[in-house]
Copies of this chain bind each other. A is one copy, B any other.
Amino acid sequence: MTIGSKRILSYPSIRRMPSYLRVLKDLVATDQKDVSATFLAKALGFEPIVVRKDFDPLPITGKSGVGYDIHELIKAIEDHLGWNNITDAFLVGTGNLGSALLGYRGFEQYGVKIVLAFDVDPAKTHQTINDIHVLPIDEFSTMAVRMKVQIGVLAVPAEYAQPIAEQMIKAGIRAIWNFAPVKLVVPENVVVQNEDLAEGLAVLSVKLDRLKTQSVHPIPGDTSPVPENETPDTHPVP
C-alpha cells in the first residue's frame, strides 16, 4: 500500500494551514528555531495528533523530542499553498463588503493581492480605496487580459453575480472567490470558492441553542475556568 504515497492535504488540513502560518510567523520574531506539534495544538485549540497529521504530507520531517524547524515548516506550507509568489487579483463590487476587503492588508500574507477594483456605479469609480484604483466595470476585460489576472473576487449583489462571473471567465479568470449567496454555474476549467457568512451564523445559532439546552443538566462538580469552543470545517476532494 505504498503506491503514490499520500502527499495531498485534505481540505480540513488546508483550512488549518493559515492558522499555522500565523502562529509560525509570530514565532519567527522569537529566537526559537523549532516548534512542537503540541505547542501549535495548544495555541490553536487543535489536538497534537491533528497537527502532526496535517504536516505529514508536507515534504518535511520533525525531530523526536524537538519538533519541526519553524522556517522549514513555513516554507513547506507556503509552497504547498502556492503562496510564495503573490498572485494578483481583481475585485468587482466596491460596496460595503467589497470596500472592506480592499481595506484589508492581510490577504498578501496569504498569497493574494487585490490590485484593481471595479464597480458599475459611477459614484464609486475613478477613486482609490486603500491605494487600489476603482475602475468602471466595462474596463474589466481589457485590464484582466492585459494583466493576465487569474483570480477574481466577487462582491456584487446576488442577482449580478452570475453575469459578472461569466464576464470574468471570458476575460481569463480561472478562480472566483464568491461572496454572493448564489451558486455560480461555471465551466470545468474554473474553480469557485463560495464564502457564505450565513453558514457560520447558522452554526453559531445551533451551538448557542445546544449550549442552553444541555446546561439544563449541569456537570456535577465542575467549575473549571477557561476551556474552549471551536467549530471546524471539512470537505472531500471534488
Residues of chain A whose beta carbon lies under 8 Å from any beta carbon of chain B = 9, 11-12, 14-15, 17-19, 22, 43-45, 80-83, 87, 95-97, 99-100, 103-104, 106-107, 109-112, 150-151, 174-175, 177, 181, 183-209, 211-212, 215, 222, 224-236, 238
Contact = CB atoms under 8 A, between A and B. Distances in A.
A171 to B, nearest CB: 16
A117 to B, nearest CB: 14
* 6 closest A-B pairs by CB: A234-B234, A96-B103, A233-B233, A18-B198, A100-B100, A193-B204
B215 A191 contact: no
A206 B78 CA distance: 11
A2 to B, nearest CB: 22
Nearest to A15: B199
Contacts of A196: 18-19
State the majority secondary structure of interface residues on A: mixed
A58 B193 CA distance: 28
A202 B96 contact: no
A97 to B, nearest CB: 5
28 contacts: A11-B231, A14-B203, A15-B202, A18-B198, A18-B199, A18-B202, A45-B183, A81-B206, A99-B100, A110-B198, A110-B201, A110-B202, A112-B205, A174-B211, A175-B211, A187-B226, A188-B227, A190-B211, A190-B229, A191-B204, A193-B201, A194-B200, A199-B233, A231-B238, A232-B235, A232-B236, A233-B235, A234-B234
A15 B181 CA distance: 13
Nearest to A206: B14
A162 to B, nearest CB: 11
A204 B151 contact: yes
Given A175-B207, A183-B45, A200-B177, A238 B230 contact: yes
Contacts of A9: 206
A228 B177 CA distance: 14
B175 A204 contact: yes
A73 B34 CA distance: 53
Contact of A200 (B83, B195, B211, B229): B195
